[in-house]
Amino acid sequence: MPNHLHGILHITDIGGVAGRPHGAAPTLGMMVAWFKSMTTNAYIRAIRTQDWPAFDSRLWQRNFYEHIVRNERELDSIREHILNNPAAWSSERENPAAIASQKQRVPWQT
């Protein structure tokens, strides 16, 4: 989907990390903030050097949705959703082409 990102983060070591106060491990929020910061900076560099289109205000939304995967069946379901999700873009309400298509329809054709 062009308007959002899915990912599965597999955390294998939650021990202390050098440079963190009292050896505290980074939180999920810290990891997501780091990812957003690094990708935003990379995008800004590409705007300047590769003529990528600029974004208006923020590249990323303020929050994120998290879910703890508790078993293999749930993980398989999430993986399937991620694989099939791009096919839903044609009917996504935030897709400009889908919005234009909806506006062109008359009520008796829906």
**Pure H helices in 9-63:** 28-50
Half-sphere exposure of residue 95, counting CA atoms within 13 Å on the CB side?
13
Structural domain for 96, as ranges: 69-110
- Domain check: are 53 and 73 in the same one? no
pLDDT score, position 58: 84
- Domain check: are 62 and 73 in the same one? no
| Residue 75 CB contacts under 8 Å (≥ 6 apart), including other chains | 8, 69
Low-confidence ranges of the chain (pLDDT < 70): 1-2, 14-23, 99-110
- Domain check: are 7 and 42 in the same one? yes
pLDDT score, position 57: 83
Q: Report residue 31 CA to chain centroid gap.
A: 13
The percent of residues in the chain predicted with pLDDT above 70, rounded, is 78
Number of domains forming the structure of the chain? 2
- Domain check: are 75 and 36 in the same one? no
- Domain check: are 15 and 52 in the same one? yes
The DSSP symbol for 74 reads H
The mean pLDDT value of the chain amounts to: 82
- Domain check: are 41 and 81 in the same one? no
Per-residue pLDDT tens digits for 27-58: 889 999 999 999 999 999 999 999 999 988 88
